[in-house]
């Protein structure tokens, strides 16, 4: 039993060692040319004018969150649909309830205007 865990520990150790060696090698081999323009916030050479904060509309985040939510739920429904016959009628009823709740969430988001880009 410990042999299986030994392989896992060895792979984790190799991964950590590879990351450490790579970072140390990059630090030792990189060029060390530092000058004032490179140390500025923007390396384009133009001085920053005004604030750097950009105010984004919250709707973009809500839309992305809804996409991820419904995408994950679709990934949940697919394996269930493949084995639906073997699960029986109780599983079909449970999935029906789940899909109704999911549809109500979509209807609520639609009614609140979360799916509009305007």
The Cα 11–Cα 1 span in angstroms is 16
The Cα 103–Cα 35 span in angstroms is 57
Given a contact cutoff of 8 angstroms between Cβ atoms, the answer to whether 29 and 81 are in contact is: no
Q: Pick from 77, 82, 83: which is nearest to 101 by CA?
A: 77
- Tens-place pLDDT, residues 16-49: 999 999 999 999 998 877 776 666 666 565 666 7
Q: Dihedral of CA 107/81/76/70: which sign? A: negative
- The pTM for the full model equals 0.48
- Tens-place pLDDT, residues 41-88: 665 656 667 776 777 777 888 888 888 888 888 888 888 888 888 888
């Amino acid at each position: 039993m410990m042999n299986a865990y030994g392989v896992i520990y060895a792979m984790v150790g190799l991964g950590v060692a590879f990351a450490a060696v790579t970072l140390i090698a990059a630090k030792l081999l990189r060029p060390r040319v530092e000058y004032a323009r490179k140390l500025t916030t923007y390396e384009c050479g133009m001085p920053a004018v005004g604030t750097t904060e950009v105010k984004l509309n919250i709707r973009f985040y809500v839309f992305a969150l809804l996409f991820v939510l419904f995408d994950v739920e679709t990934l949940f429904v697919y394996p269930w649909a493949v084995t639906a016959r073997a699960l029986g009628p109780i599983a079909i009823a449970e999935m029906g309830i789940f899909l109704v709740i999911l549809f109500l969430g979509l209807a609520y988001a639609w009614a609140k205007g979360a799916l509009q880009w305007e």
